[in-house]
Amino acid sequence: MKKRILLTVLIFGIAVSGWADIPKLGVIEQFTTVGNELCEESNLYVQQLKEHYGVKNAVVIQYHVGDNDPFYQANHTDNDARAEYYGVEYLPMVATSGNSMVQATDPYDINVKMDKVLETDTPLYMSVFHEIEGSTLSVEGSVVAAGEIDGTYNLQIAVIEKEVTEGGMTYYNVMRKLLPDGAGTDFYIASGGDDAYYEFSQSLQIDAGWDTDQLEVIVFVQDPATQGILQAVTTELVEATPSPHHIRLVSEQRVRILPVNTFLENHYMRFINMMDQDDQFDFLLETDMPEGWVASFCVGPICLPDSARIAFEAGQSEGQPEDDGRHMYVTITPMNTPGVGDVIFTARSVTYPSVQQSLHFRVITDGIDVLIVDADGGLDSEQGIASALERAEVTYGIWKASTPITGAEMANFPVVIWNTGRALPTLLESDRAAIQEYMDNLGSILISGQNIGWDLTNAASRNRDPEFYSGVLHANFINDNASSMAVTGVGFAEGLAFNLVDQTSPDVVEPVDDNTFDLYQYGESEVAGLYTGAMVYLGFDPAQIDSDDQRDWTIARILNYFNLAVGAGPVTTGITQTPPAVTLHQNVPNPFNPTTRIRYELPQSSTVKLTIYDVTGRLVRTLVNQPQESGIYDVQWNGHDDAGHVVNSGIYVYQLETETATQTQKMMLLK
């Protein structure tokens, strides 16, 4: 048997006027293992993404890690080499053209990262062919510098098997061998002269267990300084997609938080006719927005409400503001109506209707109650939380954590629910900075998900941040192996009871100080969640509560505790509850400037006095002095005394007096 497959990455029939026109092939490197539930889910997700992009846009190489994995056992050396190169500690993960590691169960996240990869230009042409004669596979090809480049790079050659069945599961794009090995081959290339061209060749003996009809060779060039992949080529292209018909539609940030009075917010895009012929394209706008919102799309100075047909020459593009030519963008106006609006923008060839691509844009305005930060790694946990909010008649928006968010953006919402589900890593450094900033700005936040404790405290975790875990979440991590999936509520969650499903390693925790209180427990005594100030932390995913009713009550009690109203007053949102004891919480934030928030709980009606003193015992401010019903109260202090004067930096004592108890706490004002 003899096979010979050849491909050169060129723009099919189009005369190239500059290296920015070279089509780029993205590489998704997937790290997985056999027998793991999350990895099995990601196996399908990543294959679907490959099919979504098509072989002219992206290829996938699947590496296996784990002593009991048969693919790892067959070639642990090459698999280890790539896993160690990226420092892989969690499974499943993917590297998107070497630029960033992404949780492999979140196809949206991978999609966003790959779109950014494909937007970047490449200075390289590549060609490759592989030949099978008997049991020998030979690979030859070249790399050509067509743009500005000068340096030493690494060439990787991967022989993959496109479909392999193992244990009843089909695995896709399985790496069988790296040539010559996992270290690849370093080579020098530079623009112009003899150094602008590099040739390579390798060969190997085919294992008897491989299906030669399923073999594919993927070659890519990687920058060792940045790990970024500059270009790739695959022998799959010539057989799978002989048609040159292709378009590209890309945009930078597709989810935005805006003031409700924003007028004409523009989402810029770039459209490229990658075909070898002129064509007309239909552009369609579909919307799901609150009543009164307005959306349109514009090409240059012309804006259209929902559809248009525009002619593009072969290779022609419409760019973003910094590009030459007409600008193309979607514009969304909330018209002073709070809410969440979704827009789907589609480009479709008239000649070849199957050639099409869509982009999803979302706008979330201020003026809604809750922002859900969806960081669950693609498990759709946000839908269970959203359903509970809907039944509580609370307005909300969903933000995908794959797009970074800042504390300033989160500050538009009185309550944030940040759920990591089963994802690993959990809270990245940028996430932690945003949460800290949001809490410093007096936001109320529920942070939930299994593995957070392990991820932030274990010495083996690259995401370790024990100071954040103890200082912000106010928790000590005990283990991630709860003795029971039966959970009961204590504190303001008393009376709630449910079982958890699909939780493999829920965190067992304990409060870090006397101002942090148990909220839920596994079985008889292991702490499953806690609360302090304006923060609730659950060591499990609340979307995985087995009862819709108990999930609704869990979310409602937390909203009740957070009190969406401004200033002092009993919580009336959702349901009522009786706190177990008089409790004066630590102010949040602390230290503060200029405003902080003080929360206290009353188990019964009482005359209440909340006062602030300086360290000499002098009365500075009386915040509350009146009878109050049982409940949870929230009071802000703006750093002024009773006369309205701004007080100096320093330590202050605040005291809660009721008919049955007196409690004090210290706080620090820093200017």
Phi and psi at residue 531, to the nearest 5°: -150, 150
For residues 93 and 215, state if they share a domain: yes
CB-neighbour burial class of residue 559 (10 A; exposed 0-12, middle 13-18, buried 19+): buried
| Section 149-165 average pLDDT | 94
Please say if the pLDDT value at position 7 is more than 70: no
Task: Please report, for the domain that includes residue 616, its CATH number.
Answer: 2.60.40.4070
* pLDDT at position 567: 29
* pLDDT at position 578: 58
Map 454-473 to HEC letters. HHHHCCCCCCCCHHHHHHCC
Please say if the pLDDT value at position 565 is more than 50: no
What digits encode the pLDDT tens for the residues 34-76?
988 888 888 888 888 888 888 888 999 999 998 899 999 999 9
- Does the residue 578 lie in any domain? no
Please say if the pLDDT value at position 568 is more than 80: no
Per-residue pLDDT band for 321 (boundaries 50, 70, 90) equals very low
| Mean pLDDT across the chain | 85
Please say if the pLDDT value at position 235 is more than 70: yes
- Does the residue 574 lie in any domain? no
CA-to-CA dists, residue 350 to 313, 462, 512, angstroms: 13, 50, 63
3-state helix vs strand vs coil in the chain, percent to 5: 20, 45, 40
Do residues 131 and 66 lie in contact, with contact meaning Cβ atoms separated by under 8 Å? Answer: no
Tokens linked to 273 = 């006719």
- Does the residue 573 lie in any domain? no
Task: Please report, for the domain that includes residue 253, its CATH number.
Answer: 2.60.40.10
Please say if the pLDDT value at position 328 is more than 90: no
**What's the CA gap between 134 and 644, in Å, rounded?**
91
For residues 451 and 546, state if they share a domain: yes
Task: State how beta strands 215-222 and 150-166 pair.
Answer: antiparallel
Place of tokens 């459209």: 271
* pLDDT at position 237: 54
Q: Worst-scoring range by mean pLDDT, 97-111, 611-625, 645-659?
A: 97-111
**What's the CA gap between 499 and 578, in Å, rounded?**
24
Task: State how beta strands 396-400 and 370-374 pair.
Answer: parallel
Of residues 314 and 652, more confidence is placed in 652
* pLDDT at position 521: 96
* pLDDT at position 3: 40
Dmax (CA) of the chain: 95
From 210, 240, 270, give the residue that closes a domain: 240
Per-residue pLDDT band for 571 (boundaries 50, 70, 90) equals very low
Place of tokens 């927005």: 289
**What's the CA gap between 383 and 388, in Å, rounded?**
9
**What's the CA gap between 414 and 367, in Å, rounded?**
9
| Section 584-599 average pLDDT | 81
Amino acid at 158: A
The candidate with the shortest Cα–Cα distance to 456, out of 421, 427, 482, is: 427
Tokens linked to 555 = 């979310």
Of residues 138 and 248, more confidence is placed in 138
CA-CA-CA-CA torsion sign (544, 549, 554, 558): positive
Q: How far, in whole angstroms, is CA 653 from its chain's centroid?
A: 41
Q: How many Cβ atoms from other residues are within 10 Å of residue 283's Cβ?
A: 19
Per-residue pLDDT band for 319 (boundaries 50, 70, 90) equals low
For residues 102 and 133, state if they share a domain: yes
For residues 351 and 320, state if they share a domain: yes
Query: Residue 334's domain spans which residues?
Result: 247-362
The candidate with the shortest Cα–Cα distance to 417, out of 379, 378, 456, 374, is: 374
Task: Please report, for the domain that includes residue 492, its CATH number.
Answer: 3.40.50.880
For residues 33 and 139, state if they share a domain: yes
How many domains are there within the chain?
Answer: 4
**What's the CA gap between 606 and 624, in Å, rounded?**
12
Task: State how beta strands 169-179 and 150-166 pair.
Answer: antiparallel
For residues 540 and 505, state if they share a domain: yes
From 201, 219, 240, give the residue that closes a domain: 240
Amino acid at 97: S
- Does the residue 629 lie in any domain? yes
* Residue 545 neighbours by CB under 8 Å, 6+ apart: 384, 487, 498, 499, 500, 501, 551, 554
- Does the residue 195 lie in any domain? yes
| Section 428-443 average pLDDT | 93
The candidate with the shortest Cα–Cα distance to 35, out of 167, 173, 172, 176, is: 167
For residues 71 and 136, state if they share a domain: yes
* pLDDT at position 109: 76
Do residues 390 and 404 lie in contact, with contact meaning Cβ atoms separated by under 8 Å? Answer: no
- Does the residue 567 lie in any domain? no
Q: What percent of the chain has pLDDT over 90?
A: 45
CA-to-CA dists, residue 114 to 56, 60, 255, 422, angstroms: 13, 12, 16, 23
For residues 291 and 342, state if they share a domain: yes
For residues 105 and 24, state if they share a domain: yes
Amino acid at 120: T
**What's the CA gap between 412 and 389, in Å, rounded?**
18
The candidate with the shortest Cα–Cα distance to 632, out of 561, 575, 567, is: 561
What digits encode the pLDDT tens for the residues 96-125?
998 878 877 777 778 878 888 888 889 898
Q: What percent of the chain has pLDDT over 70?
A: 91
Please say if the pLDDT value at position 456 is more than 90: yes
**What's the CA gap between 226 and 546, in Å, rounded?**
45
Q: How many Cβ atoms from other residues are within 10 Å of residue 437's Cβ?
A: 16
* pLDDT at position 2: 37
**What's the CA gap between 114 and 48, in Å, rounded?**
14
* Residue 599 neighbours by CB under 8 Å, 6+ apart: 533, 534, 585, 588, 632, 633, 634, 635
Per-residue pLDDT band for 564 (boundaries 50, 70, 90) equals low
Q: Worst-scoring range by mean pLDDT, 186-195, 208-217, 357-366, 405-414?
A: 186-195
For residues 68 and 208, state if they share a domain: yes
Global pTM reads 0.65
From 504, 533, 562, give the residue that closes a domain: 562
Amino acid at 9: V
- Does the residue 570 lie in any domain? no
- Does the residue 393 lie in any domain? yes
Tokens linked to 525 = 């005594």
For residues 443 and 472, state if they share a domain: yes
Task: State how beta strands 279-288 and 265-273 pair.
Answer: unpaired
At residue 249's C-alpha, the angle toward residues 280 and 355, to 5°, is: 50
| Section 408-423 average pLDDT | 94
For residues 76 and 191, state if they share a domain: yes
Question: Which range has the top average pLDDT, 107-121, 193-207, 293-307, 606-620?
Answer: 606-620
